[in-house]
Amino acid sequence: MWCNILIINNKIRRFTYSCIVLGFLFCSLGVVFAKSEGVLPGLQNPGFVEPPAWFKSSFLDLAEDIAEAASENKRLLFFFYQDGCPYCEKLINVNFTQKFIVDKARQNFDVVAVNMWGDREVTDYDGKRMTEKEFSSRLRVMFTPTLIFFNEKGETALRLNGYFPPAKFSVALDYVITHQENNIPFRDFLKNNSPILSRGVMHNVDYFRSGSVDLSKRKDNAQYQMILFEQKQCPACDELHRDTLKRPETEILARRFDVVQLDMWSKKSITGFDGKKTTALALAQSLNVKYTPSFVFFDKENKEVIRIEAYLKAFHIQSVMDYVFSGAYKKEPSFQRYIDVRAEALREKGVKVELMN
């Protein structure tokens, strides 16, 4: 009898082991298939856009999140999204690649992503527990993106139904940051603080290389290359072209470089440093370019020297160009020290240096 039991147990073990192995194989095949279909990373659904790393990781307890935000003089922002939502992708890839917006949002808000159709547990301000999709329904979230800014009492300070371009979105952030919801309707605040609208186009500069460029070849065998990553909906890019790049001092310095202008979201073919076909999008990702406009400077061996990925005025941008082209970076590793010395040298020559002009 015991022998029969042992035989049966061994068969069960072998059957269980076989199931595990087969399950692992099927799972592995699923991963391979998912990779080939572009579903990874993380086996998310197609159309998933990874939120910025600085978004808050939350247990989705509304009262707790509001209290934590308030303790840091911040307010809570819930971003309702769904996979495959093109305007959610635009919010992340356009708005949250503008450094002035990112800095403003990080400093003043805890931003939490909520899946409109998700099953994670949410605890509402009144303590009631439900799934993400039930919570979305309770708040009458009809489409995505929907952004709800909460005040310190768990009430809605502002609600944005749909996508707002960067300039308007920035005004919306200001409205909530300054607690204007008790003073003035948002539509009036927006009217009184009309944003500088983006032109929505890439700018043309006659001495810039753009389009289907070949990065493996330098214009006029230039020693240094400057790649300027931009995007069409970018107020800071507009200002850069409207002011800084039109200044004679900037043009004199810029013309010393092989200047390449790329749309960081373009999927059109370009030739990479290695002579192989790629895209501006892939290059931007490989260089970890997060903001527009971003300047990335390369030496003759295509090694990165320095980059600008913050909002800078003309003198600072000119100084970075001079820092690279003069080779000063080889002797002075601190750009801040270099710029102080450069400013003083220019003043001694009678040049008026205006750091914020």
Last residue of a domain, one of 192, 227, 249: 192
Q: What is the mean pLDDT of the chain?
A: 86
Do residue 74 and residue 131 come from a single domain? yes
Q: Is residue 71 part of a domain?
A: yes
Q: What digits encode the pLDDT tens for the residues 82-137?
A: 988 888 999 999 999 999 999 999 999 999 999 999 999 999 999 999 999 999 99
Tell me if 148 sits within 8 A of 77, measured CB to CB: yes
- The tokens describing 163, both together, are 């996508």
- What is residue 310's predicted lDDT score, i.e. its pLDDT? 67
C-alpha 312, offset from chain centre: 18
Q: What digits encode the pLDDT tens for the residues 153-163?
A: 999 999 998 89
Cis peptide before 41, with omega less than 30 degrees from 0?
Answer: yes
Q: What is the pTM of this model?
A: 0.67
Q: How far is CA 224 from CA 139, 194, 227, in A?
A: 54, 40, 10
User: Higher pLDDT residue, 197 or 3?
Assistant: 197
Name the domain count of the chain.
2
Q: What digits encode the pLDDT tens for the residues 42-63?
A: 334 445 778 899 999 999 999 9
**pLDDT(32) > 70:** no
Q: Which residues lie closer than 8 Å to 90 by C-beta, 6 or more apart? A: 163
Q: What digits encode the pLDDT tens for the residues 288-316?
A: 888 889 999 999 999 999 999 866 789 99
Do residue 185 and residue 238 come from a single domain? no
Instruction: Supply the range of the domain harboring residue 300.
Output: 219-311
Q: Is residue 166 part of a domain?
A: yes
